Amino acid sequence: MWQLGDHSLTSRLLIGSAQYPSPTTMVEALRASQAEVVTVSLRRQQPDTDAGRRFWDLIRDTGLRVLPNTAGCRTAKEAITIARMARELFETNWIKLEVIGDDYTLQPDTLELCQAAATLVEDGFEVLPYTTEDLVVARKLVDAGCRVLMPWAAPIGSGQGPLNPYALRTLRDRFPDIPLICDAGLGRPSHAAMVMEMGFDAVLINSAVALADDPVVMAQAFAAAVNAGRYAFEAGLMTTREMAVPSTPVLGTPFWHANPVT
């Protein structure tokens, strides 16, 4: 069990609901992931259309906790408006806060992000900000009242895996009591295991599962990788060494003649 805001969760894998080849595949993948939290975008799945209503019905039927996000927002004002709409629709104060500042990398606009975070926290939201691995920005978000941080590993949907492991480890070291969820850029189960071995509390996956040839099997793979990485972190990883060290010591081992005397 681990704590995310005021809620205790068992699974350390959060999953997105976009880009799946069909609604049926999406539901099967969500279930196969064993995730307890699913992210949804209010802007991209309009609840006031027939398609939007069918989508929301599918999400509700999974029984997963909904984490609305402000995907597609470009300003703090826009993100705040979407967050308040999501709270009314889903009756939750959880919000994954995204404020994008660059169309090419989809990198967060950290200035607008911090401004929106401060306003939403004051407004009673549990803000989970999608941010970069920048330590100073992370500190400003925590000072604004965020109790969770969601740094990227690489640009959204790139699948490149952790581009700056040093910075991610630094965040873990500097914020030991803040839940860290690695969000964006993880393309393989091994990438998820890598950040979990660093001590991250969870990962959020979408594209790597939804765009796989078999999203259901890939969801299972990520679930296993997240567990493996967490177990490894808790067990304590061995220290890397510059030189080889024999796993079977030589000292005290008896030697026999190649041609024993008869």
Q: So which residues are the catalytic ones?
A: 96
Given a contact cutoff of 8 angstroms between Cβ atoms, the answer to whether 49 and 25 are in contact is: no
Which positions ≥6 away from 182 have C-beta within 8 Å? Answer: 150, 151, 152, 153, 162, 168, 192, 195, 200, 202, 203, 204
Looking only at the bridges linking them, the beta strands covering 2-4 and 37-41 are: unpaired
Looking only at the bridges linking them, the beta strands covering 2-4 and 7-9 are: antiparallel
Alpha-carbon gap, residue 138 to 147, rounded angstroms:
11
φ/ψ bin of 5: left (φ > 0), alpha (ψ from -120 to 50), beta (otherwise): left
SS3 128: strand
Given a contact cutoff of 8 angstroms between Cβ atoms, the answer to whether 52 and 86 are in contact is: no
Which positions ≥6 away from 222 have C-beta within 8 Å? Answer: 13, 33, 189, 192, 203, 205, 208, 209
Nearest to 193 by CA among 153, 157, 133, 148: 153
Alpha-carbon gap, residue 92 to 156, rounded angstroms:
25
